[in-house]
Amino acid sequence: DAGVIQSPRHEVTEMGQEVTLRCKPISGHNSLFWYRQTMMRGLELLIYFNNNVPIDDSGMPEDRFSAKMPNASFSTLKIQPSEPRDSAVYFCASSPAYKGTYTGELFFGEGSRLTVL
């Protein structure tokens, strides 16, 4: 079975450029989460969707970040313009069991490692 698929796995870009990270969740999962991992701040929840609808984006660091989920099989996280402090590993995860008041097991992708020079 295919797991959560993220692309690109690695991205190196220059400050000011637009970055788009992509995620394909596991088929049948009703929720999707974007996390960011850095040494300094650990794993941070950026935004999550339930049935393609954004539920909480309070973790998105600033207006330069945006996320969309146009359908049940695809989500994007966009950073425009990118800055060196955005360098991190960005993880997408999906879950079959999110119910608004209960979060079950998350299935993570392998991550997208972003380096902004």
Partner 1 sequence: SQQGEEDPQALSIQEGENATMNCSYKTSINNLQWYRQNSGRGLVHLILIRSNEREKHSGRLRVTLDTSKKSSSLLITASRAADTASYFCATDAYYGGATNKLIFGTGTLLAVQP
Q: Which residues, at least 6 apart from 26, have a Cβ–Cβ distance to it below 8 Å?
A: 1, 2, 3, 4, 94, 96, 107
Angle among Cα 83, 84, 85 to the nearest 5 degrees reads 90
- CB closer to partner 1 out of 81 and 89: 89
Cβ at position 107, least distance to partner 1 in Å: 7
Nearest approach in angstroms of CB 33 to partner 1 is 7
Q: Toward partner 1, which CB reaches closer, 27 or 103?
A: 103
For partner 1, the closer CB: 51 or 80: 51
* Residues in contact with partner 1 by the rule CB under 8 A: 4, 33, 35, 42-43, 45, 48, 55-56, 58, 91, 93, 100-111
In a 3-state reduction of DSSP, which class is residue 85?
helix
Shortest Å distance, C-beta 39 to partner 1: 11
Q: Considering the complex, what minimum distance in angstroms separates the CB of residue 64 from partner 1?
A: 20
**8 Å CB contact between 109 and 6:** yes
Residue 117 CA, distance from chain mean position: 21
